[in-house]
Amino acid sequence: MSATRLPPALLTTLALALAPATARAQAQEVPPASGPEGATAAPAPAGPTPGPSPAQPDVSSPAPTQPAPTQIDRPRLLQDAQPRYPADAWEAQLEADVVLLLTVDAEGRVEEVGVDTPAGHGFDEEAVRAARMLRFSPARVAGVPTPIQIRYTFRFRIPEKETVARTLREGCADASCPVDEREAVKIRAAVYERGRGRPLAGVEVYVLDRDQVLLTDEAGQFELEGPPGAYALVIRPPGFYPFEATERLEEGEEVTLKYYVRRHRRSRYSTIVWGSEGRAEVARTSLADDEIRTIPGTLGDPIRVAMLLPGVASSASGLGYPIVRGSLPGDSMYEIDGIPVPMLYHLLFGNAVVHGRFVDEITFQPGGYSAEHGRFPGGRIAATTAKADEPRWVADLSLIETSLFRAQPVGESTEVVAAARYGTLGYIIEGLSANTVFRYWDYQTRVAHRFGDGGKLSLTVLGAQDAVGEEDPESGDESVLRLGFHSADLRYRRAQGSLWLTAGVQGGYEFFLPPPPEVDDGDGEMMGDAGRATMWRLRPYLQGGWEPMRGLEVEVGGDALVQDFGLDLGDDLDEVDTDVDSGLTLGFWTAAEWQLGPVLLNPSLRLDHYRYQGSNRSDHETSLQPRMAASWQVHQRASLKASAGLYTGPSRFSFVEPPIVFGPIPAYEGPGLAFGLSRTWQAQTGVEVRLPGDFEVALTGFYHDLFQAIDFSLINKPLRPDLTPCDGDEATDDTLPRDIDGRSYGAELLVRRRLGNAVFGWVSYALSRSERSIPGVGTLPFDFDQTHVLNTVLSWEVGRNWTLGVVLHVNTGRPYTPLVVDRCQDEFSAPYFEGRRGPPNAARLPAYWRIDARIQKREVFDTWYFDFYVDFFNASFQWETIGYSVDAETGRQERDYVPLFLPLIGVRGEF
């Protein structure tokens, strides 16, 4: 389309006389960043055509009745509306973007309009007026029409910048202009995103000196015809760096060109919504993309990033097993797309067992989650798998691993995502140490297909295996510890009218197999038996929901978990007497989300029945767990939240030897029900506020009342001081403490800047205490209690494709049992000093701090890009105190340090 350019004075006169109805505003919907589980989405392209692009809702907080299911169909724009251009802004030749928050009801009508990003100069009022006339198709969650809140942007632009215009030469009219009889030239070109090779549709191509702008089609192509000469082209898609080119063509010449435009690295995240996503749950935090892959000191592992969030303490620097509000790692649940992950890291302390690219987002909840999630009394770390929205390869090579990731859409209905990784570190260790066995690998695959009737079938398979030990050079036999797992999940989702249904089945095999025990030649006694475990599991499940009335969503679900154990705890845990061969757990839960004006209620109830069978015993337990969460939106940018409830589960092993703790361990589900269920009463309340500048603040207070069926931090731990100095025979009590009560309480603060800016990051701080009350002993601080924990995370894209990152971690010392120094002497030796045990956990270790750093350089080519990165864990070279020992000659107590420093160098290519 073309239009005649008018003189500025005439434009002003027409604007004032005609109530600027001839002005045009371009509306562009700001795309969502999170679905019900926070999945990210790329921005819709901006085109010059007036009116909004097809709408896609941003399900950010607060949604009036946003349900919990994972399948959501975003609303589409059915009826457009054009705002008038404000007269003053037109006269001043001003342009603006006005971001609105629209509440769209279940029939697609706009109920409420709020201005999220004002522009002034009359733009806001005109955008609000036009927004009330928009009409959308209903948003559907699992097929059910539901009210939703979306962000919607009106882009006010001067018309001649958005249409093809012919230049009027001074002193001549159209009919009298001289005709150029030379043969015309033609430029055929296509615009692609540099680094990915993806065509960019709806992109404006400015032809300077001709006052002309062209629009690329769906294939990213455009054509330009004109007289011979030079053509200066400028391409400026939103979120991209400007691209300029000058083409000189002779008479009759035709050329075909490709232009590659480079995106701002983080522009595609500019609308990511994080935090609690409109739910009533307190202290729920979601992290995505660069937030889980490029944080210094985390080795690119999403789970380790959770160590930097409020509510998490660490057992030792560099060990990524989260101590969530005073619970051991084995008491927290870890899952990906609802599939349990029975081990977090290779060889218990290496990198994560799930490829970082296979994970699209993680959600961390230290407590207060709904009854849909059960059988664990601790926190929850859940990951969602990446989507195959476009084909891409990612290859990664570093000092510790080699990996490959592939995402491939197949047609319009099927997508495949796969990843595999092998431990490069094993080659280095086996090369440096003869006869050493050090190998690990993992894999993940997801295939999903959407049917025309709205159903979706998906299959996810993942697994990992480690092997470490020695090989006999003569026989070739290996004495190797092997551990790992293989899991699969097949599920089908379907929505019909106001109902939705998900049915599926999970299965898996887990194993922890140490080398055969050594035999003592003296008496034939079996030595070094560390225990072994295997487990097969099968879990069919069914859940569904419906909306019986407007503002009320009801969900129900149930499952059956069948387990077959091969469990031998070994000598190291001989105090734990167990006899379990199989287990059957039946679960049922129901939950509701009820919107009452600004108040959202989320009551839920869970019922679990456990039955474990052994050769000599049969145990069963039933647990009824009521839970309630509520949210009150006191302001457009502020919500008050609170929750309370009961959380229970069977004991799950955590291997504890302070300062080290591991958990969960594959196949070690715990000693059945020999000691009963662990349980936690949880209560928490908080406030969440969104601030200008893409900042969010969340402040939470919590109290957890704990009952531990078995507290593995107390196994083999002396609970009384040693009163027998100088090698005396101490009277010991090997009785395992039972009925351990405890509590944790405190406050947590999170100040965060959203991903999407050149600088993003967060500051988290926790002030907390965790205690254990032991019968006959009293109340002791929990072994891994840290009163103050501070984390500061900062990532800065400094320009020219350089990114710098830094993490500052500070924690106060954990409790330890102090030593009492005795001066000793006997008739056979000179005087010496030794330390004996004082009161348990009566002192604290010194505070510890460290700085992690990351430097990344990206080279962008036409259809792929290449990253080089250096990641420094403990770049500050701080040594952490893990305990004290006594110098036998001087009697001085000296600190025992862990000098852990890890530089990681790697390269990555994405095609």
What pLDDT does 88 receive? 77
**8 Å CB contact between 438 and 424:** no
Torsion, CA 407, CA 412, CA 414, CA 416, rounded to 10: 0
Q: What 3-state class would DSSP assign to 329?
A: helix
| The pair of three-digit structure tokens given for residue 563, joined into one six-digit string | 């387990």
Exposure of 373 by Cβ count < 10 A (0-12 exposed, 13-18 middle, 19+ buried)? middle
* pLDDT mean by block of 10 residues, the chain; 911 residues: 34 30 34 29 31 34 39 74 78 80 86 83 87 84 78 72 36 55 89 88 83 86 90 84 86 91 60 42 86 89 91 88 93 94 87 90 92 93 90 90 93 94 85 84 96 90 93 73 95 88 96 73 48 92 90 94 86 68 94 91 96 86 96 91 95 84 85 84 94 91 92 85 78 70 96 86 96 91 96 92 95 94 82 90 95 94 90 93 91 87 88 87
Query: 7-157 domain in CATH 3.30.2420.10?
Result: yes
Residues of the chain with CATH 2.60.40.1120: 182-261
Rounded to whole angstroms, what are the CA distances from 98 to 74, 102, 137?
Answer: 21, 12, 22
For residue 731, the model assigns a pLDDT of 60
* Residues carrying CATH 3.30.2420.10, the chain: 7-157
Query: The pTM is what?
Result: 0.77
What confidence score (pLDDT) does residue 453 get?
80
φ, ψ (nearest 5 deg) of residue 872 = -110, 115
Other Cβ atoms less than 10 A from the Cβ of 580: the count is: 22
549 CB burial (10 A radius; 0-12, 13-18, 19+) = exposed
Helical (H) or strand (E) element with 432: helix 424-432
Question: What is the model's pLDDT at position 729?
Answer: 65
Q: Give the pLDDT score at 826.
A: 76
Specify the pairing of strand 380-385 against strand 333-336: parallel
Answer CATH for 182-261 from 3.80.10.10, 2.60.40.1120, 3.90.320.10, 3.30.565.10: 2.60.40.1120
| Residue carrying the six token digits 């100095």 | 725
Length of the chain: 911
- Rounded to 5 degrees, what angle do the CA atoms 669, 708, 566 make? 15
Q: Which amino acid is at 122?
A: G
**Among residues 511, 412, 506, 526, which one has the least CA distance to residue 462?**
506
Backbone angles phi, psi at 521, to 5 degrees: -70, -20
Please give the Cα distance from 417 to 408 (Å, whole number): 6
Question: Residue 27's pLDDT is what?
Answer: 36
Residues 6+ apart with CB under 8 A from 304: 295, 297, 298, 320, 352
Q: Where are the beta strands (DSSP E) in 692-828?
A: 695-708, 740-753, 759-774, 778-781, 788-799, 802-811, 815-816, 819-824
Q: Which CATH number is 285-728+740-910 given?
A: 2.40.170.20
Residue 302, H or E segment? helix 302-305
Contact 532, 570 (CB under 8 A): yes
User: Three-state DSSP class for 427?
Assistant: helix
3-state SS class at 428: helix
Q: Which two tokens stand for residue 878?
A: 């701080």
What angle (nearest 5°) sits at the alpha carbon of residue 463, between those of residues 457 and 466?
A: 175
Q: Where in the chain is the domain with CATH 2.40.170.20?
A: 285-728+740-910
CA–CA–CA angle 428, 434, 435 (5° rounding): 110
Q: Which two tokens stand for residue 501?
A: 């249904």
Distance CA 64, CA 137 (A): 17
> Given this model, what pLDDT does residue 521 score?
43
